[in-house]
């Protein structure tokens, strides 16, 4: 939520990449930017998926529909309940999870619509970081061992350089 | 490392905010941007410190001096050794730690100069996220309980809104 064209292009792209790398099924943006979508789908094409990219969504409808369908909404904000205090409850719940992140000014309505308002430290920092740390805690580090399907490229860990494998399909 | 003015302004600012929020003593940038420095120091002034911001540094000298003085250098890269495999060794070492993060093209020399090349997943995502997750693992979540000194503002966790305390000094 709350993308400012130009200024936030890199941040919003990073949010999408983080969502994919840390195990989310997709990302829903509240603005439309065909170039950004293309960039993200290019990463999916090269490094694998599945990962869905939806753009131009209306945040209010997305959140309300999610709840109506039985899902839960986790809004990451520096004002919320500390992650360590609430993560067990969120992990235990089997409901589909919608994580909401935004730039500086998220409307008060989001705080009321969210199932949980969760803080990743009560300090100002970054929605990119908040999303990554939240997903890392949620999945308990399993994102490090995630296999992506249909990847053309695969990185093999290397202590001293770069090893990239090209996978022929 | 590797800031592109304009395009990367928000990303580089977020890196500084993440460094502070997740427990680093400071950040060293390889470019100079007085406005960004001011923005970061304003957060330190409001939310507390200590946190140092150095700008316009030469990366080669910073890394070489760090090693010469007995410190270790942890370069975060999608090509490196998975964080879970190396974090215990890094935690156990009592040497001062310099974490190196950069934009797309980090020179090969960095991979050779680094004590550790560490991956926060072998997927493309974000230096902001890599830094946050690395520091979260390094400090084992202690950043959630960190007290900053000299803060004028303090956030009190709130499940449903915003609670900010003004501290008179």
Contact B81 A148 (CB under 8 A): no
Among A159, A164, A167, the residue to mutate for chain B (most B Cβ within 10 A): A159
Cross-chain CB nearest to B144 (options A83, A117, A136): A83
Q: What is the ipTM of this complex?
A: 0.97
Coil, strand, or helix at residue A67? helix
Find where tokens 């909401």 sit. Answer: A100
Contact B47 A11 (CB under 8 A): no
Whether the pLDDT of residue B152 is over 80: the answer is yes
CA separation for the pair A14, A16 (Å, rounded): 5
Q: pLDDT digit string (tens) for B41-81?
A: 999 999 999 999 999 999 999 999 999 999 999 999 999 99
Give, in order, the Cα–Cα distances in Å from B121 to each of A3, A79, A93: 26, 28, 26
A11 touches chain B (CB under 8 A): yes
Q: pLDDT digit string (tens) for A4-51?
A: 999 899 999 999 999 999 999 999 999 999 999 999 999 999 999 999
Q: Are B130 and B14 contacting, i.e. CB atoms less than 8 angstroms apart? A: no
At A100 the pLDDT is 98
Question: Least CA distance to A163: which residue of chain B?
Answer: B79
Superfamily of domain B9-166: SPOUT methyltransferase, trefoil knot domain (3.40.1280.10)
- The chain-wide mean pLDDT, for chain B, equals 96
At B65 the pLDDT is 98
At B80 the pLDDT is 98
Give, in order, the Cα–Cα distances in Å from A68 to each of A58, A63, A113, A114, B131: 15, 9, 11, 12, 36
Torsion, Cα B135 B137 B138 B139, to 10 degrees, reads: 90
pLDDT-above-90 percentage for chain B = 94
Contact B157 A11 (CB under 8 A): no
CATH topology of domain A9-142+151-166: Alpha/beta knot (3.40.1280)
At A168 the pLDDT is 77
At B169 the pLDDT is 66
Question: Least CA distance to B112: which residue of chain A?
Answer: A160
């Amino acid at each position: 939520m709350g993308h400012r064209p130009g200024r936030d292009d890199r941040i919003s792209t990073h949010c999408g990449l983080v969502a994919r790398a840390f195990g989310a099924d997709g990302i829903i943006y509240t603005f439309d930017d065909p170039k950004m979508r293309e960039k993200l789908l290019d990463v999916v094409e090269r490094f694998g998926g599945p990962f869905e990219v939806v753009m131009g969504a209306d945040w209010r409808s997305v959140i309300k529909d999610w709840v109506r369908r039985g899902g839960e909404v986790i809004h990451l904000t520096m004002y919320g309940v500390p992650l360590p205090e609430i993560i067990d409850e969120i992990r235990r719940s089997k409901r589909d999870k919608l994580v909401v992140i935004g730039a500086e000014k998220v409307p008060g309505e989001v705080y009321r619509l969210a199932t949980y308002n969760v803080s990743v430290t009560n300090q100002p920092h970054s929605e990119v970081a908040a999303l990554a740390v939240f997903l890392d805690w949620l999945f308990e580090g399993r994102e490090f061992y995630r296999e992506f399907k249909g990847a053309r490229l695969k990185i093999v860990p290397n202590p001293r350089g770069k090893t990239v494998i090209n996978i022929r399909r």
